[in-house]
Every structure is written in C-alpha cells, then in structure tokens.
Amino acid sequence: MTLCVAVIGAGVIGGAIARRLIESQAAERVIATRRRVERLRPLEEIGVITTGDNRWAAGEADAVFICVKPNDVKGVLEEIRGEIDGKLVISTAAIIPLSYYRSIAPEARYVRTMPNIAALIGEAFTAYACDERVTEEDRQLIRRLLETLGPCEEVEEKHLDAITGLSGSGPAYIAIVIDALLYAGLKVGLPRELALRSSAQAVLGTAKLVLEGCLDTSKVKEMVTTPGGTTIEGIYQLEDSAIMTAFMRAVESAT
C-alpha cells in the first residue's frame, strides 16, 4: 500500500518534516500546505505535492501532520474535521493537550509530538504521547514517520511541556553555548572560522561521547580534568558564574 502523508502548515518544522518524509521515502506521497503556497516551491522541487487547500490535503492523506502555530490549531482542525475521521493526526504544536484535539474533532486518533529543528538534518530528539485510541499498528507507523527526524521516544503526555522547554528549545540554548565559545576563542586570539569550527565540534563530539560511548557526563569531565591542569582552571571560572543555575532557570521558564 502506498502511504500518503499530509503536512498542514509547512513552515520551519512542517517544512523539515515534509522534506525528511519524502527524502527518506518513509511516505510515497507527501502533500504540504500553507496559505502562502509560493513559499513551498523548494519542497515542490524535491517531489512534495504542494497546495493551499488543507481540506483536500487531509482528505487525500492516510496520516496528517498539523504543524501550525498553537493559536492556529483550532481553525485548522475545524477546517479539516470532516476529512480526518478514523485517521491518525500527528501534531507538533507546543502547549496544546491531546484532549483539546479530541474536543474539536473526536473521530480522529491523535499523537502530540515535540521535535526540534535538528529535524532538518535527521538529528532531532522527538518525544511523543499518544491518545488512548492509538493502536499498535498506528505506533509502528508513528515510529516509521518520526524516525526520519532522528531518535524518538514515546513518553507520558505530562512530560511534554518540560520536553518543549528542554529539547524543543534546546538548539537555541546550544547555539548560545557555541556562540559563547566562539567569542571566547576570539578573546584568546583564534581566527573566527577556527574558533567556530572547534566550538561546534566540541559540542557535537561531547554529545556523541555521552550518547554513543555510554559515558556519563561526570566521566567525560573526569577524563578531561587533570589535577592542577588547564581544564580545572576553566571549570573553576564556569562554576563561579553559576552556569548550571542559568540553564535550569532557562528550561524552567520555557516549560
């Protein structure tokens, strides 16, 4: 059976999803919508069908992604209500609980997800929660679709706001870290390109050490920090600036 997936609201995250779905061939047909259809041309060029007609897109699809801003979810759901009966609907919208979708269009089965912008390169972390009517067969389809964005994990819905504040917003925090390291590199006289490349690679390499090397973060710190060495001088300054508290506050506020 050929799989058709609609992405309603193909902006930043919806555009990344449409792109990954078609490039990975996880779906044979991908239909992307937004009101300013002309902005969908780059997706059209890679084989995505584009339209401004949400109702038609939802009607054609076996599964529907909703990727509009939280404030636009109600309008879109009301518009496509007649087309999603009995279908799987996967939303990326922050904040909005599963119960809200069901209250507007009760005949669909819903998944609430929180990816991040690294979906563009298949390196997002996506947490998702399913409503109770989602079947085992649906779960297989959900994984097939979400794994095109990067690693994914089913969680209880109560965790999704915190995931939004942590990994949903995470790329912005880490971009700040890379920027800070870049400036630090400039301060100690490195050329800009070299400072940027070495900062970004330090972030990437450390993340891989933790995720793939099964090392915990304290082990990484221990391996880098020799007594009386250079790293402990750096750590001393970081601890003094309460960097942990700054991140904890950021995630708490975003949540």
Nearer to ligand NAP, 39 or 249 (CB): 39
Q: How far is the CB of 56 from ligand NAP (least distance, A)?
A: 12
Give dist(CA 138, CA 245) in Å, integer: 40
The answer for residues whose C-beta is within 8 angstroms of residue 202's C-beta and 6 or more apart is 181
Give the CA angle between residues 7, 12, 13 to the nearest 5°: 55
Nearer to ligand NAP, 14 or 165 (CB): 14
Query: How many other CB atoms sit within 10 Å of the CB of residue 186?
Result: 13
Q: How far is the CB of 229 from ligand NAP (least distance, A)?
A: 38
State which residue has the least CB distance to ligand NAP. Answer: 11
Nearer to ligand NAP, 92 or 185 (CB): 92
Nearer to ligand NAP, 53 or 233 (CB): 53
Q: How far is the CB of 40 from ligand NAP (least distance, A)?
A: 8
Beta sheet of 29-33, edge-to-edge order: 49-51, 29-33, 4-8, 63-66, 88-91, 109-114, 126-130, 152-154
Nearer to ligand NAP, 115 or 165 (CB): 115
Q: How far is the CB of 57 from ligand NAP (least distance, A)?
A: 9
How much of the chain is helix, strand and coil, in % rounded to 5? Answer: 60, 15, 25
Record the tokens describing residue 244, joined without a space: 């942990």
Q: How far is the CB of 111 from ligand NAP (least distance, A)?
A: 13
Nearer to ligand NAP, 14 or 185 (CB): 14
Q: Note the residues at the interface with ligand NAP (CB under 6 A).
A: 8-9, 11-14, 33-36, 39, 54, 67-70, 72, 75-76, 92-94, 114-117, 168
Give dist(CA 30, CA 17) in Å, integer: 10
Q: How far is the CB of 217 from ligand NAP (least distance, A)?
A: 24
Give the CA angle between residues 249, 250, 255 to the nearest 5°: 100
